Structure 1
């Protein structure tokens, strides 16, 4: 998929993250749940899907014809980055023909020892037509990722890293600063309400990714329980 096609498909609209990790109630060893989530999101008006693992991506592709931001979460201890952290994951995702591959572009030590710049350059050299989304936590990381060659920057990891723990979330200011700098920014992370998603568009986001507030019923239940007993 080309820039223009992806921008036209998701611009000003909602992307729903459909993921379940092995320790979550909606995870099954055979899959089959995330495609249902994706189908529900599509029927509800979502413009795109963000999905984890080759299995889930392929199962979603079989039932929903929306652009997918693909990731593979794989731990490489002791290093912290785990979202599409090496070329191994990039190769696996590229083979699925996802519209966009998202990868950790935070300024943290990487398992492969490469800098973000070198990693992005290596991907673009191998797959020059593949769109890339940088999952970042801070403004400087976003600018560096865009300069390195990432097509989009997402605020996915803001609030989850040591460098970003003091940034207010949802990260409206971060999205606004990146957009003002000319960075195609996808707002992701900590968006719990439709009003917050709308605000993200107002401050310059190309699109908004929402996950837990839509596709993680355990977390939604916990918020209600906590709110009722506050």
Structure 2
């Protein structure tokens, strides 16, 4: 199967991930979350961690973008940082392996091109998570099957960038022939729809759907602001 046909175009991919300190951490919870996403009409799942990948793959019959997040002292790369990690993600059942596509030094000393080539030899489709236009173009040239805007705002060079950066998406779709994926900071349905209009192959949404503590906190913050504003008005 061609890598480009793994996930239905113009659909929603839900990122089902929970950090260790979050209430929904655990493969059982993530598998249930993936089932809910499927029922809602999602065309794919993005999942982190080998256990979660296996559990979600067994629970739902949707294409799965897999990754691991591992911090190393000698590198800023943490999304599937080494070729060994990437091959393990592929072996766990991921249809597409997401890797850091920024070109920053990797913990295992391999280049981005070498990492992509190693995955291709194993028969894996590769998604390069990038932060800038130049990184997206380079990742495509190095053989990535997909380029995703995932890391914009999360690297030293792009810190503070307002998200979602749909301008970056639009620039990439204008020049790349491989699918460009919109991910990062999309928290409103209208933003996801606009990403499709700008040429995104599909849209990945995570926190706005699958992190209830973050969703609830937005309500709490807005309500506290309203209460504070009302109190100030009453004192005038």
Alignment coverage as a number of residue pairs: 224
The aligned residue for residue 185 of structure 1 is 180
Secondary structure at 1:114 match in 2: coil
Structure 1 stretch 159-168 or stretch 83-92: which is displaced more? 159-168
TM-score, structure 1 normalization: 0.93
SS at 1:144 equivalent:
helix
* TM-score, with length taken from structure 2: 0.90
SS for the counterpart of 2:46 is strand
Q: Does 1:45 align with 2:41?
A: yes
- Give me the CA root mean square deviation: 1.4
Match of 2:150 in 1: 156
Deviation string for 1:89-135 (max 9, x for gaps)?
A: 112112123210000111322211222223222332x32x3110000
Choose 1 or 2 for highest CA Rg: 2
Q: Is the 8 A contact 2:53 2:93 kept in 1?
A: no
Displacement of 1:165 in angstroms is 2.0
Report SS of the residue matched to 1:145: helix
Q: Runs in 1 of length 4+ with deviation above 4 angstroms?
A: none
57-66 or 146-155: which moved more? Answer: 57-66
Matched, 1:229 2:229: no
- Residue of structure 1 equivalent to 2:190: 195
Structure 2 unaligned regions, length at least 5: 226-236
Question: Tell me, what secondary structure is at the counterpart of 1:33?
Answer: helix
Q: For residues 145 and 113 of structure 2, what CA distance do their matches in structure 1 show?
A: 13
Q: Which moved more, 1:181-190 or 1:207-216?
A: 181-190
- Distance, in Å, in 2 between the alignment partners of 1:223 and 1:190 is 14
- Secondary structure (helix, strand or coil) at the match of 1:170 reads coil
Partner secondary structure for residue 40 of structure 1: helix
Alignment partner of 2:204 out of 192, 205, 209: 209
State the match for 2:232 in structure 1: none
How far, CA to CA, are the matches of 1:5 and 1:117 in structure 2? 23
Residue of structure 1 in register with 2:8 after alignment: 10
Residue in 1 that maps onto 2:229: none
Comparing 174-183 and 149-158, the one that deviates more? 174-183
Conserved? CA contact 2:4–2:179, under 8 Å: no
Deviation at 1:27, TM superposition (A): 1.1
List runs of 5+ in structure 1 lacking aligned partners: none
Q: Deviation string for 1:60-117 (max 9, x for gaps)?
A: 1111000000001111123111111101211211212321000011132221122222
* 1:80 to 1:24, Cα distance in 2 relative to 1, 3 A: same
